[in-house]
Amino acid sequence: QSVLTQPPSVSAAPGQKVTISCSGSSSNIGNNYVSWYQQLPGTAPKLLIYDNNKRPSGIPDRFSGSKSGTSATLGITGLQTGDEADYYCGTWDSSLSGGYVFGTGTKVTVL
Amino acid sequence: EVQLVQSGAEVKKPGESLKISCKGSGYSFTNYWIGWVRQMPGKGLEWMGTIYPGDSDTTYSPSFQGQVTISADKSISTAYLQWSSLKASDTAMYYCARPLMGYGGSLYYFDFWGQGTLVTVSS
* Chain A residue with minimum CA distance to B98: A47
Residue A2, pLDDT > 90, answer no
Is residue B89 within 8 Å of B38, Cβ to Cβ?
Answer: no
Q: Please answer yes or no on whether A46 and B116 come within 8 Å at the CB atom.
A: no
A1 neighbourhood in chain B, CB within 8 Å: none
Sign of CA dihedral B56, B61, B64, B67: positive
Of B47, B108, B112, the CB nearest to A102: B47
Query: For position B102, what pLDDT does the model report?
Result: 84
- Per-residue pLDDT tens digits for B31-54: 999 999 999 999 999 999 999 999
Span A10-61, pLDDT tens digits: 999 999 999 999 999 999 999 999 999 999 999 999 999 999 999 999 999 9
Query: What is the pLDDT at residue B76?
Result: 97
Residue type at A12?
A
**Tens digits of per-residue pLDDT, B45-96?**
999 999 999 999 999 999 999 999 999 999 999 999 999 999 999 999 999 9
φ, ψ for residue B111, nearest 5 deg: -95, -25
Q: Between chains, do A50 and B107 touch, taking CB under 8 Å as contact?
A: no
Closest approach of chain A CAs to the CA of B109, in angstroms?
6
Is A1 a residue whose pLDDT tops 80? no
Mean pLDDT score, B116-123: 98
Contact B44 A56 (CB under 8 A): no
Dihedral of the CA atoms B78, B73, B94, A62 (nearest 10)?
-50
Q: What is the average pLDDT score of chain B? A: 96
A contact test, residue of B2, B100, B108, B112 with most A CBs within 10 A: B108
Question: Which helix (DSSP H) or strand (DSSP E) does residue B73 occupy?
Answer: strand B69-73
pLDDT of residue B40: 98
Smallest CA–CA distance from A96 into chain B, residue: B62
Residue B10, burial from CB neighbour count under 10 angstroms (0-12, 13-18, 19+): middle
* Residue B45 to residue A44, Cβ atoms within 8 A: no
| Residues in Cβ contact with B62 at an 8 Å cutoff, skipping those fewer than 6 apart | A97, A99
